[in-house]
């Protein structure tokens, strides 16, 4: 399955503080390592292989995860322009610039998730998601406890007034 539209607006915080994805309009089932060619997604999060119309698969979601992580830590995506053509040029040609005080472990993970070369992009290597889960930025997370929601979330929304 390829989500193809990972962005902050599609990540919701549940009442218990855990996240949930929303807006499944671009999801596509892709068996094995097959590719699709549909041009879709939100420009700031679109992977280079979509822009280049080379055909793409699941790694586009890992690229978008890297862009989303950058935005969550810095407050904006790494590439921005009112002109979509310029934005795509930036995505294809520019390196992601990080502020000096950017967490070095997060920077490392983002760089690995946003590799243009699919043979180097985390999530798409031989060990798949294991490379991401074992990255030093995520070393403290017990993923089994996370999936079973046994970890206290750092933020729980206030209950809405009825």
The pLDDT assigned to 159 comes to: 79
| pLDDT at residue 20 tops 70 | yes
Tell me what pLDDT residue 64 has: 98
Instruction: Give the confidence band of 161 by pLDDT, cuts at 50, 70, 90.
Output: low
- The average pLDDT across 5-26 equals 96
Among candidate residues 5, 23, 105, 127, the one labeled active-site is 5
Say if residue 112's pLDDT is above 90: yes
Helix 59-74 to helix 104-113 angle (10° resolution) is: 150
Q: Which two structure tokens, joined as six digits, stand for 92? A: 């294809």
In terms of pLDDT, which residue wins out, 162 or 137? 137
Element (H, E) at 11: strand 11-13
32-55 pLDDT, tens digit per residue, is 889 999 999 999 999 999 999 999
Q: What is the mean pLDDT of residues 123-147?
A: 96
Say whether 5 is catalytic: yes
Residue 85 CB-density burial (10 A; 0-12 exposed, 13-18 middle, 19+ buried): exposed
Predicted model pTM: 0.94
Burial of 152 (0-12, 13-18, 19+ CB in 10 A): exposed
Q: Which residues pair with 28 in a beta bridge?
A: 2
Contact 28, 56 (CB under 8 A): no
Asked if the model's pLDDT at residue 160 lies above 90, the reply is: no
State the burial class of residue 151 (Cβ atoms within 10 Å of its Cβ: 0-12, 13-18, 19+): middle
Q: Encode pLDDT of 55-95 as tens digits.
A: 999 999 999 999 999 999 999 999 999 999 999 999 999 99
pLDDT score at 33: 81
């Amino acid at each position: 399955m390829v989500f193809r539209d990972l962005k902050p607006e599609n990540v919701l915080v549940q009442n218990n503080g855990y996240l949930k994805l929303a807006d499944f309009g671009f999801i596509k089932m892709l068996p094995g390592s097959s590719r699709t060619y549909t041009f879709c997604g939100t420009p700031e999060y679109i992977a280079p292989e979509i822009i280049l119309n080379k055909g793409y698969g699941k790694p586009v979601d890992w690229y978008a995860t890297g862009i989303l992580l950058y935005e969550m830590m810095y407050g904006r995506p790494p590439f921005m322009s009112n002109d979509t053509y310029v934005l795509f040029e930036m995505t294809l040609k520019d390196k992601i610039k990080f502020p000096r005080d950017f967490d070095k472990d997060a920077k490392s993970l983002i760089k690995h998730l946003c590799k243009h070369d699919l043979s180097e992009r985390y999530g798409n290597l031989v060990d798949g998601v294991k490379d991401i889960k074992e990255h030093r930025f995520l070393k403290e997370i017990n993923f089994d406890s996370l999936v079973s929601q046994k970890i206290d979330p750092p933020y729980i929304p206030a209950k809405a007034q009825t």
